[in-house]
Amino acid sequence: MVNLPVIDMVRTGQNIGRLRKQAGLSVKDLQDIFGFATPQAIYKWQQGAALPTIDNLVVLAAVLQVRMDDILVTDAAAQIRISA
């Protein structure tokens, strides 16, 4: 067993919501920025049901004026079994 960081999807989602509000942006604002037809993807991110793709994460960090590391919440204590 090796300790590797694992993304905490729920806490990352809560973080996205908090950072969005801090930036003074609505879900609709983000929907428009990303060109999404519906706001569902952003709600899924905020609920921790899904994570932004890497390219969307880059844009999200730029829009929120934070580093990508500031968006993602990791759990370093989670253990992952690595098979060679």
Q: Catalogue the long-range contacts made by 42-46 (C-beta closer than 8 Å, 24 or more residues apart).
A: 45/12, 45/13, 45/16, 46/13, 46/14, 46/16, 46/17, 46/20
pTM of the model: 0.86
Over residues 22-27, the mean pLDDT reads 98
Residue type, 57: L
Domains of the chain: 2-80 (1.10.260.40)
The SS3 of residue 54 is helix
Over residues 44-67, the mean pLDDT reads 97
Work out the mean pLDDT of the chain and round it to a whole number: 92
The pLDDT of residue 4: 79
Task: Give percent of the chain above pLDDT 90.
Answer: 81
